[in-house]
Amino acid sequence: MSDQNTAATKDEFMQAAIDEARMGRAQGGIPIGSVLVRDGQLVSRGRNKRVQENNAIKHGEMDALMNAGRQRTYRDTVLYTTLMPCYMCAGTIVQFKIPKVVVGESRTFGESKEFLESHGVEVVILDLQECVDLMNEFIAAEPTLWNEDIMEL
Amino acid sequence: MSDQNTAATKDEFMQAAIDEARMGRAQGGIPIGSVLVRDGQLVSRGRNKRVQENNAIKHGEMDALMNAGRQRTYRDTVLYTTLMPCYMCAGTIVQFKIPKVVVGESRTFGESKEFLESHGVEVVILDLQECVDLMNEFIAAEPTLWNEDIMEL
């Protein structure tokens, strides 16, 4: 049923972000994925690589932005991400002047919505059960790893 | 005169951050450096690598944190950085729960002090003329590169 409920709101870009999250989990990593989009085209894709690359700053959003290389501007981009951004990623969105973020879900994590909106960023939360399930299954299986990633150890 | 004025407040860690900034400039990059410190010992060093690595997220602070790998906690660390953090780096400091930031200068850039302090981060601004000169010389020589780095193009 949840697939039917979310089908109307999940476009190809959120699907690409979810695909990145699933690939990350298959690699033993944290299942959060992101893509950067401009003019209806993918600019770059990314996924959390804390485990895969021993890298604390490679959240999905940061990996996608790193993979985009140097862009003249981000004012015409949209960032899609499976989970509500943490403050690192939210601060990056504000600094990069990305005007819009589409979020898979904010039930399992995320306190940056007010910060983003106070800096003029449009935040669209799709509340996809698929994304909630992905995180809940991961957090149940790897609670210590998750707490490391959100700095709650 | 400025060297004498600042000698009393510039310790070995800020000197290491300045060394990183100068090495970055010598590489054709943006002269901002940072180091992470725990218990009076260097954990890692970093510098802005936008130019050197075609990497928009590698500000000095982010590079130092990336070079630190996975740390169990950052609650016992201090981040030294030659320039007031941007929102990406400030959001990262908040997310990583780094309790204290020592800043070389905030005259040429920086609007994140209030955000950092509102999240309980202690911000110490040394206001070193050496750091101001480093940035002013760079901005005069490479205004477009600087505006790219702070997303003002």
Cβ pair A66:B86 closer than 8 A: no
Interface of B with A in 10-49 (CB under 8 A): none
Instruction: Output the CA angle A79-A85-A86, nearest 5 degrees.
Output: 145
Closest C-alpha among A129, A140, A122 to residue A105? A129
* A14, A32 Cβ separation under 8 angstroms: no
Distance between CA atoms of residues B126 and B6, nearest Å: 8
The domain locations on chain A are 13-150
Average pLDDT, chain B: 94
Distance between CA atoms of residues A87 and A78, nearest Å: 18
pLDDT tens figures, B36-58: 999 999 999 999 999 999 999 99
Contacting residues for B65 by C-beta, under 8 A, at least 6 apart: A56, A57, B36, B44, B46, B79, B92, B96
Q: Which contacts (CB < 8 Å, 24+ apart) does range B95-99 have?
A: B95/A86, B95/A87, B95/A88, B95/A91, B95/A150, B95/A151, B96/A56, B96/A88, B96/A151, B96/B65, B97/A151, B97/B73, B98/B74, B99/B75
- Per CB-CB distance under 8 Å, the chain A contacts of B86 are 91, 95
The pTM (predicted TM-score) of the whole model is 0.93
The predicted pLDDT at position A110 comes to 87
- Per CB-CB distance under 8 Å, the chain A contacts of B72 are 148, 153
pLDDT tens figures, B58-110: 999 999 999 999 999 999 999 999 999 999 999 999 999 999 999 999 999 98
The SS3 assignment for A25 reads: helix
**Nearest CB neighbour to A88, from listed B50, B56, B91:** B91
- B6 versus B60: the higher-pLDDT residue is B60
- Per CB-CB distance under 8 Å, the chain A contacts of B150 are 95
**Nearest CB neighbour to B91, from listed A66, A74, A90:** A90
Share of chain A above pLDDT 90, in %: 90
Would the pLDDT of A6 be above 50? no
B77-83 β-sheet, strand order: B41-47, B33-38, B77-83, B100-105, B122-125
Q: How many CB pairs under 8 A join A and B?
A: 95
Average pLDDT over residues A4-8: 45
CATH 3.40.140.10 is held by the domain A13-150: yes
Which listed residue (A12, A20, A61, A130) is catalytic?
Answer: A61
- Per CB-CB distance under 8 Å, the chain B contacts of A73 are 151, 153
Cβ pair B57:A92 closer than 8 A: yes
Would the pLDDT of B10 be above 90? no
Closest chain B residue to A145, measured at CA = B72
**B153 — pLDDT class (breaks 50, 70, 90):** confident
